[in-house]
Structure 1
Amino acid sequence: MRRLYTPMLGRTAVGLSAILLAGCASVSSDGGLNDVSSLTQSRIGQAAHFKKDSSNSDAEIQALLAKPLTAESSVQIALLNNAALKVSFAELGVAEADFVQASRMRNPSFSFGRVSGGGDAEIDRSVVFDIAGLLTLPARTRIEHGRFEQAKLQAAAQAVQLAADTRRAYFTAVAAAQSAAFAEQVRGAAEASSELAESMAKVGNWSKLDQARERAFYQDAMTQLARTRHEAIASREQLIRLLGLWGAQQEFTLPDRLPDLPSQPQQMNNAEAQAMSQRLDVLAARRDTEATASALGLTKTTAFINVFDAGYANKSTTGLPRENGYQVSLELPVFDWGGAKVARAEALYMQSVHRTTDTAVRARSEVREAYSSYRTTYDIARHYRDDVVPLRKKISDEVLLRYNGMLASVFELLADSREQLMSVNTAIETQRDFWIAETKLQTAINGGSNTDTRTMP
């Protein structure tokens, strides 16, 4: 330590510290959630709100549950009530706290020493400030601000992903309930056919082989009904978990059927470019690269010397006038020249660059794949709606006419009825697949994968 004496440095340091403290960032009232809501609103048409007053949210949720759920109202409930999303929002507070902390200087240190003997006393006093922290304050603030913005993007991505998961669960639950209803009709037709075959076999008008076939079909229908009922319960429970419901809230009503197909499918146009400009995981990866680049520059700047303290000091000795001056303390690079820190920062930067490239490549590919699935499921669902189901109905009408004209047996009529019901059930599945594919396409463009793009410290 080297000590020189000047009367001005103490007052200068104190004044500079006051100016810096006045310009420090502070914790915001919303914790960044307003920006998250805006990001979510622009991508899924609904804002994500974290309301501290749960009574208002509960009243809004009850009003939505009082009506048959739609895909949009399900998403709205999930954004209000999903506990995992609230955890993600709470993480924003950590990122903002780091940002605010980075904008503030380290507290000055005060030292006091007294030595006495032989009737004399010597008193040393000093106030030391972190000059290295002062010089790097703008860079550190800029880095943590970038991290905070990245955290907002990640929280918005969680909200968009929750909305997509909720829509998929909703369409799956509605389709499963609809399929279970049709499975009950198939079971009824199979039971009637089996009972009729048994009655005719008793009077000798039906062979044991044909009777066994009808009985086997009835057993298969019972198994299928049990399976579809479980799928209806499981898909409903999945929706309940995403909505965060419990108790009496679970008694909500779903519509009897899925929404109709749109008249025309969407065109891809510039979907890839759109994904690159607004997909949240891509934007978060870019933010991470920018922050890591800034951190690399700061590391290179402070690699040689990263401890530099200076401050005001005075000394009082019995019988002598007070002496004023300053003291300077810095780290001598004797054993550590900072090469390892720079190498680590460079590795983290390259890691971030490659992660951003990988995210962009996957994003483009996922958009193309999602659009292919969207168009394929749309064409199949429309084919079943416009061709297969009407054709099955036409066949059923013809069989009924033949039965009324005594040209077809009752078993032919029942068998045709079963086939028609199964084709309708397949049409339900294709319609469900389309709406799920449409949800995946929107997520591929606006949201992104569940990959976390943050760099570990």
Structure 2
Amino acid sequence: MRQFVNTRTAIVVAGSVFLAGCTTFSKDGGFDTVATTASERLGKNTVHVKTDADRQAVAGRTREMLAKPLSMDDAVQLALLNNPGLQVSYGELGISEADLVQAGRLPNPGFKFSRTHSSNDLSIGRTFSVGILSVLTLPIASRIENARFEQTKLQTANAMLVVAADARRAYVNAVAAEQAAQYAARVKDSAEAGAELALRMRQAGNFSRLDYAREQAFYAESVAAQAKAQQQAVSAREKLTRAMGLWGSGTGYTLPDRLPDLPKDRPQLNDLESFAMQNRLDMQAAKLQTQSVATSLGLTKATRFVNVLDVGYLNNFETDKGHEHGYEISVEIPIFDWGGAKVARAEATYMQSVNKLAQTAIEARSEVRESYSAYVTNYNLAKHYRDEVVPIRKTISDELLLRYNGMLASVFELLADSRDQVGAVNNYIDALKDYWLAETDLQQAVGGRLPQQVAASSPPAPATQPASPTKLEGK
């Protein structure tokens, strides 16, 4: 920037230099906001990997967690430690802080030197200059960049919550797909046994051609269903692997056999819309964006007529005149451009930011209502399958098997019940999966956590194991 020659100018420069000296890089680089959000809203740790020591610490923690079957919380924690996309988001903090520090520093001064001579005269010109407008607007520019840095912190923390939610969904889908694949394998084994028994009975003349064809068709369909379920399990597992950022030997992790049980009672959640408006980080970031644009608009109006204002100190020398001292001021004259376009652009940008904030609020409220409805519906549906459908199907299966062994029920009834049982169990697995996905969506919709004063639920109910398909044995 350029230097001044009077006392007032010197004071402005000195104050700006002091301000510039105060604008330095922070120790945490803005990451404390992200780490605190992960701890308070998820109960997890996250690391901005910058050094080899950080990488080694993350690798050690990862190996420790992969040594046992993964829980839902484990999957989220691994994603927060290893997901490369999350590390990319963390890099935005460094970029934004660099912009903040740059905005708080004085621009470099300019120096111009000229030397001319004629036959008898030598003329030397030296000019040391600094841009006064940049000096005057330095405090406001610093405040604007500081607001943007705070906005970047919130956006980065929100990106971390999104990664955590995606990892949770991927975990639910992977475990449910694995559970469905295991059940499909048992169904295939049962269908194979039924088809074998039907063949024996057909050969003995005790089974009609139609009933035999039905059992063969059920077996053929179960083979196809088992292959499809296995492929879905592989695909869901790979999505989880990507979400957790694992590769190499880390991909050999072990998943539990089934999803966590449905909570015994569903917590009552009230005033979720208001909670979401206060808790969601994207709402907070949008508010900061609007405030920052408003501040920038004020700066634009203040400087609309002054595009360039430079002050310089002159020290010239000519052989016949000696040294000449003085100063020069250069300013653009607003003849063709009065700054109206700049102000109009700033006002349009401000209204755009206001409308974006309103749209974000509308979408957030709608997401809360939609996700809460899905949360309640899927809980009730999963509970219905757990408490009503699956137990009834298991009772029917057990009773039919007893009657079949006691020669009181025909093989036709037993085989038909085996087919009916498959649909009920698969529906329960899907209902349980949908509940955990709905809970994840609701948590994300309200800002990464449910209201703690009402979110605590009762201990989980005893595990309800899916009924195994009846396996027929030849008599």
The TM-score normalised by the length of structure 1 is 0.92
1:305 and 1:316 map into 2 onto residues whose CA distance is 32
Report the Cα distance in structure 2 between the residues aligned to 1:295 and 1:11, rounded to whole angstroms.
Answer: 29
Give how far 1:301 is off. Answer: 1.3
Matched, 1:140 2:136: no
Q: Which runs of 4+ in 1 moved over 6 A?
A: none
CA contact (8 A) 2:16 2:138 kept: no
Helix, strand or coil for the counterpart of 1:114?
strand
Report the AA paired with residue 291 of structure 2.
E
- CA contact under 8 A between 2:12 and 2:135: conserved in structure 1? no
TM-superposition CA deviations, 1:248-272 (whole Å, max 9, x none): 1111000111111112212221211
Matched residue, 2:376:
375
Deviation at 1:447, TM superposition (A): 5.0
**Structure 2 CA distance, aligned partners of 1:303 and 1:187?**
77
Give aligned pairs, total.
442
In 2, the alpha carbon distance for the partners of 1:127 and 1:177 equals 73
CA separation in 2, counterparts of 1:8 and 1:238? 62
User: What amino acid sits opposite 1:120 in the alignment?
Assistant: D
CA displacement 1:394-446 (0-9 Å, x = unmatched): 21122123213312123422332343343222211111110110000000000
Name structure 1 gaps, 5 residues minimum.
Answer: 1-6, 449-457
User: Deviation digits for residues 353-377 of structure 1, max 9, x if unmatched?
Assistant: 1000000000011001111000100
> Cα offset for 1:151?
1.0
**Secondary structure, in 3 states, of the residue corresponding to 2:264?**
coil
Task: Tell me the equivalent position of 1:26.
Answer: 24
Matches within 5 A, 1:300-315: 300-315=301-316
1:59-74 aligned at under 5 Å gives the runs 59-74=60-75
Residue number in structure 1 paired with 2:401: 400
- Whether 1:335 and 2:331 are equivalent positions in the alignment is no
Distance 1:30 1:363, change over 3 A: same
- Tell me, what secondary structure is at the counterpart of 1:23? helix
Check conservation: 1:108, 1:128, Cα contact below 8 A: yes
Match for 2:5: what amino acid?
Answer: L
CA contact (8 A) 1:179 1:228 kept: yes
Residue 190 (str. 1) matches residue 188 (str. 2):
no
- 2:26 alignment partner AA: S
Q: Take 1:408 and 1:161, find their aligned partners in 2: how far apart are those partners?
A: 54
Aligned 1:176-325 pairs, distance under 5 A: 176-318=177-319, 320=321, 322-325=323-326
Query: Which of residues 48, 51, 55 in structure 2 aligns to 1:50?
Result: 48
Question: What is the SS of the residue equivalent to 1:436?
Answer: helix
C-alpha distance in structure 2 between counterparts of 1:426 and 1:349, whole Å: 51
User: Structure 1: how far apart are the matches of 2:18 and 2:135?
Assistant: 14
Query: Counterparts of 1:435-450 in structure 2 under 5 Å?
Result: 435-446=436-447
Q: 1:9 aligns with which of 5, 8, 25?
A: 5
**SS of the residue 1:259 aligns to:** coil
Q: Is the 8 A contact 1:193 1:411 kept in 2?
A: no
Question: How far did residue 335 of structure 1 move?
Answer: 1.6
Secondary structure class of the residue paired with 2:386: helix
Name the CA distance, whole Å, in 2 between partners of 1:117 and 1:231: 88
Question: 1:33-182 alignment to 2 at 5 Å?
Answer: 33-52=31-50, 53-182=54-183
Aligned partner of residue 254 in structure 1, secondary structure: coil
How far does residue 321 in structure 1 lie from its aligned partner after superposition? 5.4
Distance 1:91 1:443 in 2: 22
Moved more, 46-55 or 88-97: 46-55
Q: Deviations over 1:107-155 (max 9, x none)?
A: 1111122233343333222211111111111111111111111111111
Q: Corresponding residue for 1:351?
A: 352
Equivalent residue number for residue 414 of structure 2? 413
* CA RMSD between the two structures: 2.0
1:429 alignment counterpart = 430
Report if aligned partners of 1:120, 1:318 keep a CA contact under 8 Å in 2. Answer: yes
Tell me which residue corresponds to 2:460: none
Aligned-partner SS, 2:327: strand
On the 8 A contact 1:180/1:228 being kept in 2, the answer is yes
Residues in 2 aligned to 1:48 and 1:152: alpha-carbon distance in whole angstroms: 14
Corresponding letter in the other structure for 2:392? L
Residue 453 (structure 1) aligns with: none
Using the TM superposition, name which of 409-418 and 276-285 deviates more.
Answer: 409-418
Equivalent residue number for residue 3 of structure 1: none
TM-score when normalising by structure 2: 0.89
Aligned-pair identity in percent equals 50
Q: Structure 2 counterpart of 1:104, which letter?
A: R
Kindly provide the amino acid, as one letter, of the partner of residue 373 in structure 1: A
* Counterparts of 1:8 and 1:398, CA distance in 2: 99
Distance in 2 between residues matched to 1:14 and 1:364, nearest whole Å: 53
The amino acid across from 1:74 in the alignment is A
Q: Residues of 2 paired with 1:14 and 1:8: CA distance? A: 6
The amino acid of 1:429's aligned partner reads D
Deviation at 1:18, TM superposition (A): 5.3
1:139-196 CA-partner distances (Å, limit 9, x unpaired)? 1111111111111111111110000000000011111111111111111111111111
SS at 2:435 equivalent? helix
The offset of 1:287, in angstroms, is: 1.1
The separation in 2 between residues aligned to 1:91 and 1:244, in whole angstroms, is 19
Match of 1:110, SS?
Answer: strand
How many angstroms apart in 1 are the aligned matches of 2:146 and 2:448? 22
Counterpart residue identity of residue 32, structure 2: N
The answer to whether the 8 A contact 2:312-2:329 is kept is: yes
